């Protein structure tokens, strides 16, 4: 059975709420989250996961798509925070060919 789709009536309000949820899950305060991402970015993430119906010029989203939106917001927030920590010299990062991934570690 297909998932129920919900019409997005106010994408700006939805973006604010989803950003709050993502930041709360990470324990990130409003000042830090607003430094890392803005509502236009969040609205773009929502549009990536939502379905657009031209007939009534509206976006629709399912519960699972909404979860993906929050996951993407959290990934964005964490990614920017890790990059900032690296640029400030709080973390060391390098590419590990053996593991085929980026490695982050604290500076001793």
Per-domain residue ranges of the chain:
6-106
Task: Return the pLDDT at 103.
Answer: 92
Strands in the chain per DSSP E: 6-8, 51-53, 58-61, 91-96, 101-106
Which helix H or strand E contains 76, and what residues bound it? helix 63-87
Give CA separation, 27 vs 35, 41, 53, in Å. 15, 20, 35
Task: Return the pLDDT at 107.
Answer: 81
Per-residue pLDDT of the chain (108 residues; tens, 9 = 90+): 889 999 999 999 999 999 999 999 999 999 999 999 999 999 999 999 999 999 999 999 999 999 999 999 999 999 999 999 999 999 999 999 999 999 989 887
Q: Residue 87 and residue 107: Cα distance in Å, rounded? A: 12
């Amino acid at each position: 059975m297909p998932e129920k789709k919900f019409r997005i009536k106010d994408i700006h309000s939805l973006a604010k709420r989803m950003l709050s949820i993502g930041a709360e899950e990470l324990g990130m305060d409003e000042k830090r989250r607003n430094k890392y991402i803005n509502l236009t970015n969040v609205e773009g993430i929502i549009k990536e996961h939502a379905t657009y119906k031209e007939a009534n010029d509206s976006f629709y989203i399912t519960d699972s798509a909404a979860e993906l939106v929050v996951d993407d917001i959290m990934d964005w927030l964490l990614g920017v925070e890790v990059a900032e920590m690296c640029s400030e010299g709080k973390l060391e990062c390098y590419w590990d060919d053996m593991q085929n991934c980026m490695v982050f570690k604290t500076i001793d």
